[in-house]
């Protein structure tokens, strides 16, 4: 059999025979120390949807493949920032964001009370300062944040 045979479906139409993630999907993945890839956006989606258990489980999975807690922390900060920007603007153009993440952030706003994201953001800034002073660890800070949803 020729190699071309494996690139056709049962009707003879040529199909893409790639079995791994696409180039766009790879850009979304964070390599862990073990070499495994983890999509941090699944965790930020769970955070935005306020799914405490799912977010915590995904965080533990990220840690188990070797994703640094700092990468998780800054991706959650990005999610909070996106939601805050979406709450103060009327469309993606005004927010200077792409449409998909803007709409996703706008949709997540219903899961948080007014002023709650500002309080979370403020506490993250304060706690980040505590981490820099050596008073606590990033791993613990992220875990407390997720369990406090």
The confidence score (pLDDT) of residue 127 equals 92
Q: Tell me how far apart the alpha carbons of residues 27 and 41 are, in angstroms, rounded to a whole number.
A: 11
At the topology level, CATH places domain 3-147 in Zinc Finger, Delta Prime; domain 3 (1.20.272)
**Under 8 Å between Cβ of 78 and 44:** yes
Domain ranges of the chain: 3-147
Place of tokens 């999975």: 61
Q: Is residue 142 pLDDT above 80, yes or no?
A: yes
Q: What is the pTM of this model?
A: 0.75
The confidence score (pLDDT) of residue 149 equals 83
The confidence score (pLDDT) of residue 78 equals 92
Q: Is 72 exposed, middle or buried (0-12, 13-18, 19+ CB in 10 A)?
A: buried
Q: Tell me how far apart the alpha carbons of residues 140 and 142 are, in angstroms, rounded to a whole number.
A: 6
Per-residue pLDDT reduced to its tens digit, 49-100: 999 999 999 999 999 888 889 999 999 999 999 999 999 998 988 988 889 9
């Amino acid at each position: 059999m020729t190699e071309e045979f494996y690139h056709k479906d049962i009707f003879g139409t040529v199909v893409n025979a790639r079995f791994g993630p696409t180039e766009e999907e790879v850009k979304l993945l964070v390599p862990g120390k073990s070499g495994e890839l983890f999509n941090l956006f699944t965790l930020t989606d769970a955070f935005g949807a306020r799914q405490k258990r799912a977010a915590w489980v995904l965080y533990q999975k990220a840690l188990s493949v070797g994703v640094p807690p700092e990468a998780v922390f800054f991706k959650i900060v990005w999610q909070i920032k996106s939601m805050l920007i979406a709450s103060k603007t009327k469309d993606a153009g005004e927010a200077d964001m792409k449409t998909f993440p803007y709409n996703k952030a706008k949709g997540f706003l219903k899961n948080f009370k007014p002023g709650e994201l500002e309080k979370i953001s403020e506490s993250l800034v304060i706690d980040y300062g505590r981490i820099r002073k050596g008073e606590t660890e990033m791993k613990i800070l992220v875990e407390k944040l997720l369990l406090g949803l």
